[in-house]
Structure 1
Amino acid sequence: MINKTVYFAYGSNLWLDQMKQRCPESKFVGIGFLDDWKWIINVRGYANIIPSAGDIVYGLLFELTEQDVRYLNRYEGTQYQRQTISVELINKEDLQSKRAADSLVYVDVERKSESQPKKEYIYRMNMGIADALQQGIPSDYIDKYLRPFIPSK
């Protein structure tokens, strides 16, 4: 059996087309969320999540092959730390009746202060927001957490 990793995407990898280009063997499997985390744009100009009591981060879950994980590591670079975090599942196609899944999450543990997005990142995030909404991530989450950083097109 091929080893699969569940990956929690919360930034521009919400854009399904970008995710498929970066990780060609990836398979979208559902929506999940992290309680007590907050979505921000950090000083590098990219999405990050930080621990924050009472907040929530929604994301898309993908099954990745080992090769996809290697590709993703290259795209995410060395600024993000690879962490395994238990993600609560909302709707899931192939994760049976599990309520949570240990998932690969990329977190920048050094740069936790809020800033402005890089200009090129706004387009990619808007594409990801459109896909996230279509898959069922709540619009009030997008409005509360992502829109203060990411202007609509």
Structure 2
Amino acid sequence: MKTKLYLAYGSNLNLAQMAKRCPTARVVDTLTLDGYQLLFRGPHDGAVATIKPQQGSRVPVLVWEITPEDEVALEHYEGWPILYRKETITVRIGKRLTKAMVYLMNENRPLGLPSCYYYSVILEGYKAAGFDVGILRQAVSDSTEAEIG
């Protein structure tokens, strides 16, 4: 069966959620995407995570190995191709460079705040992976400041 690598930075960091959504997916590594910033976009108290290129920023990700069936489930969850698009980026896993798929939100969505539930799902994923929760908190702050300012 052909598999691919998928980079999760939002609610798909949550292991329990992914186990239900994509039961054959497995975590193969953790990485930091240098040069990307985590933000929340969408309606107030309903914004969802996305990343964008931003020099000097970084975003931790889980690297999942997914099957075609997992990808179909992710497409449905992510609102592909309306809300999110798929892009392929090159990442370093161990000593080799490889390609991985990531969902990026389509343009023209305003910055906003995530719901408490959505934030807590991501926070649980951050803690389970040992990621710096300060990056998640900064994303909320950056999404709020830009919304107000």
Normalised TM-score (structure 1): 0.80
Matched-pair identity in %: 33
Question: Which residue number in structure 1 is paired with residue 87 of structure 2?
Answer: 83
Q: 1:131 to 1:23 in 2, by over 3 A?
A: same
Which one of the candidate residues 118, 136, 143 is aligned to 1:146? Answer: 136
Letter in 2 for 1:87: V
The answer as to 2:117 corresponding to 1:124 is no
Q: Deviations over 1:43-64 (max 9, x none)?
A: 3411110111121111000100
Q: Which residue of 2 aligns with 1:94?
A: none
Q: Which moved more, 1:64-73 or 1:43-52?
A: 43-52
Measured against aligned partners, the alpha-carbon deviations of 1:95-141 in whole angstroms (never above 9, x if no partner) come to xx5433211100013146532112321221222122121xxx3x2xx
Instruction: Output the CA distance in 2 between the equivalents of 1:125 and 1:112.
Output: 20
More deviation, 74-83/113-122: 113-122
Which residue matches 2:42? 43
Structure 1 unaligned blocks of 5 or more = 90-96
Aligned length: 135
Let me know the Cα RMSD of the aligned residues. Answer: 1.8
Q: Which secondary structure does the structure 1 equivalent of 2:30 belong to?
A: strand
Between the aligned partners of 2:14 and 2:57, the Cα distance in structure 1 is 23
Distance of 1:88 and 1:75 partners within structure 2: 27
Corresponding residue for 1:33?
32
Shifted more, 32-41 versus 107-116: the winner is 107-116
Contact 2:123/2:136, CA 8 A, preserved across alignment: no
Larger displacement relative to structure 2 (64-73 or 105-114): 105-114
Considering fraction of residues, name the structure with more helix: 2
Moved more, 14-23 or 104-113: 104-113
CA shift digits 1:56-109 (9 cap, x unpaired): 1110001001111111111111301011111233xxxxxxx5433211100013
Matched, 1:103 2:100: yes
CA contact (8 A) 1:38 1:52 kept: yes
